[in-house]
Amino acid sequence: MNKAELIHAAAEKAGLSKKDTEAVINAALDAIVESLAKEDKVQLVGFGAFEVKRRAERTGRNPQTLEPVSIPASKVPVFKPGKPFKDAVNK
């Protein structure tokens, strides 16, 4: 499912126009991104939690030359699904 299909499905379930639904979904996604940029955790009870994890600097290998390459430290967004979400997927 892509974003357009998500908007269509949500609009039908909520009984809203696609335009209004698109605005709500975009606003929600923007709010999640802004919170994660500030390294705040976003927890949606029954769905899951978005948070930022830090990756330490590590050594990798260039696959063509097999030379060791330093991979710098970084921050990555992660999603942890909640139990009801996991249960719904596994039934």
What is the structure's pLDDT at 39? 94
Q: End-to-end distance of the chain based on CA atoms, in angstroms?
A: 20
Among 10, 30, 32, which residue's Cα sits nearest to residue 79?
32
CA distance 73 to 54: 7
Q: What is the pLDDT of residues 34-81, one digit of tens each?
A: 999 999 999 999 999 999 999 999 999 999 999 999 999 999 999 999
Structure tokens that stand for 46 in this block: 């029954």
Question: Does residue 66 share a domain with residue 25?
Answer: no
The arithmetic mean of pLDDT across residues 22-42, rounded, is: 96
Range of the domain at 89: 41-91
Question: Does residue 18 share a domain with residue 45?
Answer: no
Contacts made by residues 84-87, CB under 8 angstroms, sequence distance 24+ = 84/46, 84/47, 85/46, 85/47, 85/48
Question: Does residue 15 share a domain with residue 47?
Answer: no
- Report how many domains make up the chain: 2
CATH of residue 84's domain is 4.10.520.10
Question: Does residue 51 share a domain with residue 32?
Answer: no
